[in-house]
Structure 1
């Protein structure tokens, strides 16, 4: 393919190195080769004294990144042995951890749609820019999966139970709520992004941000904290749903019905993963836990069925197995957290 057709475009302008995700028709969904290319570029630039800042953006108008290539995961889980998906996640999670520890400012322009794997390559960065067009989400429970790419680390550290709400429902949020939840740092109007990125060729990041940032429109989550915190402190998903249904706020009742449409297994595993992530000290430890969970998901029916319903056939009518929360046992959840032996990710040891 020609340079312009490559799924990841790289260039250096002044003091800034640029990563552009270049699959606009797929909202820049991440493939395994894209993850490898980004990692190689970070290695090169880390040791290049001329590069002071790294910037990641997405091609097209729809968003930075809609997530990982879940069609490939679906096909591997359904027709293969899961090794290709596991290898993708291994490299992706290593990249997420590397972004979080990168020694130079890593600026993520989270314009438009930023979901799943897109959060992993942006929200761990040192400087995270949202706009009025940003729609940031971890929607994995809707495809029979669990928030990964360090998502359970980030969401477990959001104020109160906001992260639990976002992880279980998969709800998308805008700039103000992303800043509130610790997924973004600054709001810049989308119309200023081109000038902001150009500024980074000559200016330190803090100065370039200060020149362009503006107050974001008011978010929604702060106004829902009362019922979110009251309902999501429960120890089980069943009790969370009961509290939501019993609450007087109409938004709480609506949320209960949203949860009841998600994979029951994914909901219970997600709640366990979030609670576990709160007790872990580092992103690396949480990524190790997420890798166990992700690999286990490859052997369960809901991941294939969820991607089929949402992405492949698009009938939006998944048939979850087990079909109800009451049918998902503690043992069913436990198996997602079982050690992998020689196949462990091992980031916390490295």
Structure 2
């Protein structure tokens, strides 16, 4: 099993244990985590849950992208079952009745955000690098990413979603993706304190003020440039901005035009939806549609398989991505709709 479970001193300890794959999640890991969360929910020996990643590189780099690539390339359905269960796990974490502590040390991407940023106590360090880079592989943010990013201050979440940029711990706290800043060398002290104290008390013994947030300092131009509801208008404003805005435009121009338009609409719609489960249902629709496109296969090929970093997007330009194509990502799935938090 690629995930370890231990109960010690009242803490249900989850360790994602695929360090060579930067603890990427597969379906078996998701099901095991969900099973243990269900079991520990009613176990009086467990008063809190903690999740961390094995190795020294990060918590989790996301889902098993190579498996998704093979599934998309061959017309399979395994990814749909994986996402359905992964999103149920994300929802269960968000409403977990016991304290849920996520150590977001190192790399936290995609599905790694899903197992951490929906928890009650989200701890970042000076080594934290958080990203939702899905637009770079012909996909759109999922695992509740559009829920979280749509609720970040101003347009900071739109900036992160469209550029796929990685941010540090201070920016994660500013964006509402994390709560506490703890130096990485104090994490062992946090684990020791959790053995005898409540999570709130234990975290207070090691937390420090976060450094200044670069995103907070850039909020002015970010809010101005990302305010429009079309990617074309956003790019126009970025290109007319300062050095940082122009750099953001160049990043966005490399991403899948279809994914950019789908992601922007998903963010704007997520702002109006009432809760995480409703947003996850929307994300399941966009993920379901993406699996059946050549865009996802080409994006993963270019970034992960061949690593030539030269995806041939189709449609190749924003102008060629019509509303009908974007609409198709949000169309009702009928009997295939995600069934919420139920199993």
TM-score of the aligned structures, taking structure 1 as reference length? 0.97
1:301 aligns with 2:274: no
Q: Secondary structure of 1:290's partner?
A: helix
1:66 aligns with 2:69: no
Q: Which residue of 1 aligns with 2:29?
A: 34
Q: Secondary structure of 1:337's partner?
A: coil
Kept in 2: contact 1:285–1:348 (CA 8 A): no
Q: Secondary structure of 1:279's partner?
A: coil
Kept in 1: contact 2:88–2:341 (CA 8 A): no
Kept in 1: contact 2:146–2:270 (CA 8 A): yes
CA shift in 2, pair 1:278/1:348, >3 Å = farther
Partner Cα distance (2:71, 2:14) in 1: 28
1:117 aligns with 2:77: no
Q: Which residue of 2 aligns with 1:91?
A: 85
Partner Cα distance (1:94, 1:184) in 2: 21
Q: Which residue of 2 aligns with 1:315?
A: 308
C-alpha deviation, 1:152, in angstroms: 0.2
Runs of 4+ more than 3 Å apart: none
CA shift in 2, pair 1:174/1:305, >3 Å = same
Instruction: Supply the RMSD in Å over aligned alpha carbons.
Output: 1.0
Q: Which residue of 1 aligns with 2:147?
A: 153
Kept in 1: contact 2:140–2:263 (CA 8 A): yes
TM-score of the aligned structures, taking structure 2 as reference length? 0.99
Q: Count matched residues.
A: 343
Q: Where do residues 124-163 of structure 1 align in structure 2 (5 Å cutoff)?
A: 124-163=118-157
Partner Cα distance (1:329, 1:255) in 2: 23
Partner Cα distance (2:249, 2:16) in 1: 36
Q: Secondary structure of 1:347's partner?
A: coil
C-alpha deviation, 1:348, in angstroms: 7.2
Q: Which residue of 1 aligns with 2:15?
A: 20
Q: Which residue of 2 aligns with 1:3?
A: none
Partner Cα distance (1:43, 1:159) in 2: 33
